[in-house]
Structure 1
């Protein structure tokens, strides 16, 4: 009994109730499968004229035909020119002429003359400022500044003092050179004396041996 069909509601015959419930369930499932949605989610229809674009293909074909025709005509013209001399004389044998050539040449000559004059003036011009005098004045100024300052940076020498110092240095160098030459002469004299002393001693030894 437990394996028999158990209806939800009480009934007189379980077998008939099972058959009726089964038919009702099948009809319900069939209605579910054939039900239509309230919102249309299907893709929109595709139109051939939007994808194929016959107008564009026609224009492209016409353009290609025009290009092909122009190329054919150009090829015919080129072949005709290659076979013959052509219908147009394109040889330029005339000389190039300028309307303002003389004026430009005159202007160039004028500029060159002016530049030459300016160069001569620059080369012949004498300087108005004497750098040597400026340098001497500045040395004097530094000398006076160091005399009046409490902590002088250094005692710059005037040109006379510089000459005196250079003369002293030159005299010292000459004196050292003179002393060096005298020393060399003394050494050479001592060497000669020693050589003379050695030679008689050798002769004396030879005589004794004989």
Structure 2
């Protein structure tokens, strides 16, 4: 036996229930998000980070200075003669 759709529960809605439902639907349509989903504002002083750049520059200068000192020491070692009499200059080993 097929169900009669005229006896649905929607027929028994009172006017007060309809008004409440319409008020609810109006509030749902006008609802806005409560959670802020925008990215944070960019702060120039944090993005630029001058202190970190200064420390990086100082570290690079120290590395260059240490490398230069190391190179001078290696040149001095290559120039002086070893105990066996060989030198690392032009008359000794050939480097590639």
TM-score, with normalisation over the residues of structure 2? 0.40
Which has the larger Rg? 1
Bigger relative CO (Cα 8 Å, ≥ 6 apart): 2
